[in-house]
Structure 1
């Protein structure tokens, strides 16, 4: 899990009196970090101990640049992550920690499937939490100039955890991006949201499932989760819908969607006044979902659209929802074709971000705008026809 709190991080950067620049010599960079830590008020001896033996981790950089799984379309990605074994284990964990989930639902109004899905995807219910040295990973990523504004503040948060006795710079391990524990939380999130749920006097996200789950729930609540409200629901859509209304950036009331013929595949829709976005991950002939306000909170946990939708859908499966109707979506583009499409969209003035072959929010919005212009079904799903027309 990478929660990209770039605005917060940027404000911290601006406030700091002396920053070690990213790039350049690694040891010089570390020296600058140490000076900055002391300037922030950290004890010199603690700073020296924390940074003692820090090293650059080439494996971290390789992992950061090798996230090809996010290029998979939703159907492939979700089938890759969701297995019957994960569903069965999730339901078993729900029973094992029933009292913890009851407490989460009572205190934060977060349904158990939500935390179970994160727990499954992040660490396979705690089975594999990552073996990267967390301090080295954070310093390596802060030194790298790709996203230093995200990772630099996490170094000082880890230092603070060390001073509190909750972090061992030589031994604490986790994911390549610096997340720690069963639900993979960054050091700053642990500082702000760590909960000693099992009452042993420590916040142990690596070894205590109650601590990890309650801490994750507190973080989601702080990010704006609306207690007791839904997040995602599979729906059936009519053939003749204005597809340009779809996408996470647009919302209508549930009543308005109903008036256009959108109906639940199973169960009932929530209150007619609730806002909802129509999500068509692979176009208007593929799966269809209504996403409610809580769905947006998922993007504070991870910014990948395909990951967020899969995690939100898996949460519903763990609570009894049926397997989605895959429909018959049009053939998508290969990674190379996606890069070609992104280049063409960029040339037409659209902000698609990095040319990376990933169908992110910027690319989806640009695809939808061009589909409207060209008179194609404006469902934000890129096809060979759109590529050729451009």
Structure 2
């Protein structure tokens, strides 16, 4: 799902298991719970709806759509905590990848890749995006269509647009949903169902992404990201291509580093040609040569004790689908397995103690107090936090691998 993930609310767990066993799309609305918790916010939702309706009319949304959809919008307060509990940001990366790149998913993904080979190969040839990556995103987002979400999409968007940490973003997404209704791509009623964040279909497109990148892959004159796999596959490929996927090229490779490696070369902002990496002694873990004219960056997701990767712009295109290193790496590694490539050569440092969310937030605050840009202190380990850690490590004479450890936090605490 571009820039967010599908997460099943606790109330939907029983329904989701049934959907997975049935292997079909969960597209009918869930019945509203008998009682709802009080809304966790001070917003006057009726006043908010009136204001939003005026904005929608000004934006050119038809009166029919506005008057049909907006008055019926409901708040779903149970969604608000989910925005801070996305597993790709709070689970250890190896646990997240283990759950994604499971033997069952690999086996099923390979079967489906073969079943839809003609369609996928044609889309890959046109877009330059590898077929296995399209299938991996399909598998990661909805378990190959087994669970597309049961949250009413317009209600979800209205909830997050009226109360939450990214109100402007979700307000624009709700406007995009109304535009899709005006264009006949979505129904005004009943609401389509999707993720808690309002993402829809086989590969979980947000409304704005649907507007900008969805395509009619099967040529039937309409775009159906729920019922047409060809539309869903072609739209996913179109999004990744527009996000910068280098045509016909891989996302990257697991690599090995030489003794005495210059760790200052690591980091998402240190791109250089593959030939330069080879000259620095970096080799592919599978023993094949680093060749080609691509630029690549070095990712060290768990420090010098775990696997290390060279990343092309393909990996960064996946990051635009969902801005999480764990998500992008899980999709990339699942794609490798679907294509018959070997798994990881290096082991994850599973026994290494990890910082809690509260400790990571404290780390971010202490780094920021020393002038390092660690981003918003939210307790989530992202690119800016790793870059800040690397900067501090360099100044302190430590190995600058960008990995926050308990020892690093203790050192920052000792400095006051």
Would you say same fold, with TM above 0.5?
yes
Residue 216 of structure 1 is matched in structure 2 by 236
* SS state at 1:277 partner: strand
**Residue 341 of structure 1 pairs with residue 363 of structure 2:** yes
**Residue 3 of structure 1 pairs with residue 25 of structure 2:** no
Residue 7 of structure 2 is matched in structure 1 by none
Residue 343 of structure 2 is matched in structure 1 by 323
Matches within 5 A, 1:1-390: 1-3=1-3, 24-169=43-188, 170-266=190-286, 268-327=288-347, 329=349, 330-390=352-412
Gaps of 5+ in 2: 5-40
CA drift of 1:327 comes to 3.3
CA distance change for structure 1 residues 345 and 190 in 2, over 3 Å: closer, same or farther?
same
CA drift of 1:23 comes to 6.6
TM-score (norm 2): 0.85
CA distance change for structure 1 residues 197 and 69 in 2, over 3 Å: closer, same or farther?
closer
CA distance change for structure 1 residues 77 and 374 in 2, over 3 Å: closer, same or farther?
same
**Alpha-carbon separation, structure 1, partners of 2:399 and 2:348:** 15
> Which deviations, in whole Å up to 9, do the C-alpha atoms of 1:67-116 show, x marking residues without a partner?
25522232222112220011011111111111111111121011011111
* Higher mean displacement: 326-335 or 122-131: 326-335
**Alpha-carbon separation, structure 1, partners of 2:409 and 2:116:** 49
Task: Confirm or deny: 8 A CA contact 2:74 2:155 kept in the other structure.
Answer: yes
- Backbone CA RMSD of aligned residues: 1.9
Q: How many residues align?
A: 373
> Which deviations, in whole Å up to 9, do the C-alpha atoms of 1:255-277 show, x marking residues without a partner?
11111211111153453532111
* Higher mean displacement: 344-353 or 100-109: 344-353
Task: Confirm or deny: 8 A CA contact 2:251 2:314 kept in the other structure.
Answer: yes
CA distance change for structure 1 residues 328 and 158 in 2, over 3 Å: closer, same or farther?
closer
CA distance change for structure 1 residues 234 and 111 in 2, over 3 Å: closer, same or farther?
same
Gaps of 5+ in 1: 5-21
Task: Confirm or deny: 8 A CA contact 2:148 2:195 kept in the other structure.
Answer: yes
* Higher mean displacement: 335-344 or 203-212: 335-344
CA distance change for structure 1 residues 357 and 110 in 2, over 3 Å: closer, same or farther?
same
**Alpha-carbon separation, structure 1, partners of 2:326 and 2:74:** 33
> Which deviations, in whole Å up to 9, do the C-alpha atoms of 1:42-76 show, x marking residues without a partner?
22222101223111111221322322552223222
Task: Confirm or deny: 8 A CA contact 1:254 1:269 kept in the other structure.
Answer: no
**Alpha-carbon separation, structure 1, partners of 2:102 and 2:269:** 30
* SS state at 1:249 partner: strand
CA drift of 1:145 comes to 4.2
CA drift of 1:163 comes to 1.6
* Higher mean displacement: 309-318 or 95-104: 309-318
* SS state at 2:363 partner: helix
**Alpha-carbon separation, structure 2, partners of 1:37 and 1:105:** 37
CA drift of 1:346 comes to 2.0
CA drift of 1:335 comes to 3.0
